[in-house]
Amino acid sequence: MRICIAGAGAIGCTLAARLTAAGNRVNVFARGQTLASLRKNGITLTDADGTFHANVQASDQAAELGPQDLILLCTKAHALPAVIRAIQPMVQEKTIIIPVVNGIPWWYFQETDSRFRDDVIRAVDPDGELQRLVPAHHLIGSVVFITAAREAPGVVRASNPHLLIIGEINHTMSGRLQQVQALIGGCGIETRAVDNIRDQIWTKVAANLTSNPLSVLTRGTLEQLYADNRLSPLVRRILNEVLLTAAAYGARIRFDPQTIMEMGAGMGAVRTSMLQDFDAGNPLELAAIGNAVTELAAKAGLEMPVTRSVLALTDFLAEQQSA
């Protein structure tokens, strides 16, 4: 397959390095200092299986990379509109597009029988641009569990095992889904194909929303957030609000609350991606990880008072930093 990774952060570089090491030819859509570094030095990934070096074709011009069979969107949610506009020359009729992005996706209500069918998630796609630019037939949904950190442009370190869950947004088990599962699974990343991708999204949202904003406020690691008796009660209250909202949309999360807490603590002294972004002075993914969830809660007539308060405090702190 002709494969492109759009976005060369920690997740994008991890995928690009492992795919290349497995013998695939990988293109990377990147910009600025990152693009210059990839052209000069390639990608270096150090993870539990060793160190991988990948030479990739990198460009900031989609037309130069040409039409692609598979595009993995590995960017922050707030960068999606600009990136999706830029990659249009790479998209052909049968191109598969997989957003590897945290939070509630813009396509959440597409291809469903929900009474909200085709509604727009205003927090992540306020004017419906993403929905217009990416027709539903291109999409495969994903949930990524890769705890990687970028040490420099194109240089990434990851300590925990990699997991990618993928699923058609109409909840079918298609041939192309199995093809992508085999492709990514063949490069040493555990890849699961499922027929309930929205359930998986809610599981990751529960993990993100209970940890990311609060990590910015407390500077706590995952282990501290979920196990410290001064922080864990607040985490549990946020978790309860998220689980209630997920249930209102028919989502089934296979882990009970206590297991989720124990799994979070078991991740160890990991700093969340949002805390890393805050320390680097980058925009935070509060819209997709947090505001989209409270938007869905409001649609269902639910309140999330603790979650809303933590999000407001995190947003205030980020605004103060950027002032």
The CATH architecture of the domain made up of 3-195 is 3-Layer(aba) Sandwich (3.40)
Domain locations in the chain as residue ranges: 3-195, 199-322
Q: How confident is the model at residue 149 (pLDDT cuts 50, 70, 90)?
A: confident
Q: Mean pLDDT, the chain, as a whole number?
A: 95
CATH class of 199-322: mainly alpha
| pLDDT exceeds 90 at position 147 | no
- Look up residue 69 and give its DSSP letter: S
At 262 the pLDDT is 97
pLDDT at 240: 98
Q: What is the pLDDT of residues 291-312, one digit of tens each?
A: 999 999 999 999 999 999 999 9
Say if residues 135 and 23 touch (Cβ distance below 8 Å): no
Is a pLDDT exceeding 80 seen at residue 95? yes
Strand arrangement of the beta sheet that strand 57-59 belongs to: 57-59, 26-29, 3-6, 70-73, 96-99
Tell me: the pLDDT tens digits for 189-219? 999 999 999 999 999 999 999 999 999 999 9
Exposure string of 121-149, with b = 16+ CB inside 10 Å and e = fewer, is bebbbeeeebbebbeeebbbbbbbbbbbe
Note the pLDDT tens digit of each residue in 67-76: 999 999 999 9
Alpha helices in the chain (DSSP H): 10-21, 32-41, 62-65, 80-86, 129-133, 175-185, 197-218, 222-227, 232-248, 257-266, 273-279, 286, 292-299, 305-322
The least confident of 79-83, 146-150, 229-233 is 146-150
At 7, the pLDDT band (50, 70, 90 cuts) reads very high
Residues 6+ apart with CB under 8 A from 200: 143, 165, 167, 194
pTM summary value: 0.93
Q: Which pLDDT value is given to residue 118?
A: 82
What integer is the mean pLDDT of 145-162?
90
Q: What is the structure's pLDDT at 323? A: 77
List pLDDT tens digits, range 259-273. Answer: 999 999 998 898 898
Task: DSSP for 83-112, please give it.
Answer: HHHHTGGG--TT-EEEE--SSS-TTTTTTS
The first and second tokens of residue 38, run together, are 């990839």
Q: What is the pLDDT of residues 167-180, one digit of tens each?
A: 999 999 999 999 99
Q: What does the pLDDT read at residue 303?
A: 95
Fold: same for 3-195 and 199-322: no
Give the per-residue pLDDT at 254: 87
> What average pLDDT does range 106-118 have in this prediction?
90
CB-CB contact of 44 with 101 (8 Å): no
pLDDT at residue number 316: 97
For the residues 161-188, what does the mean pLDDT come to?
97
Please tell me the predicted confidence (pLDDT) of residue 90: 98
